[in-house]
């Protein structure tokens, strides 16, 4: 029979890994949207007549 304490430990480790990956993904997405906005905005600004 498998040890329930060890099982929960493995499960907790896997959950922690998934949560970190999800957090990193979300942070990357936010950074990506910010950078894209700045690049697109920059292109529009340089095209404006002063």
What gap in Å lies between CA 27 and CA 4, rounded to an integer?
A: 34
State phi, psi for 48 to the nearest 5 degrees: -75, 140
Nearest Cα to 32, choosing from 44, 43, 24, 42?
24
CB of 32 vs another protein, minimal distance in Å: 7
Which position among 1, 5, 39, 45 is part of the footprint of another protein (CB under 8 A)?
Answer: 39
15 interacts with another protein by CB under 8 A: yes
Q: Does 29 bind another protein (CB under 8 A)?
A: yes
Which residue reads 């700045």 in tokens? 38
Question: Which residues of this protein are in contact with another protein, per CB under 8 A?
Answer: 10-11, 14-15, 17-18, 20-21, 29, 32-33, 35-36, 39-40, 43
């Amino acid at each position: 029979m498998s040890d329930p304490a060890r099982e929960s430990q493995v499960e907790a480790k896997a959950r922690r890994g998934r949560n970190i990956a999800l957090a990193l993904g979300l942070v990357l997405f936010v950074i990506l949207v910010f950078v894209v906005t700045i690049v697109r905005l920059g292109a529009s600004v340089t095209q404006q007549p002063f």
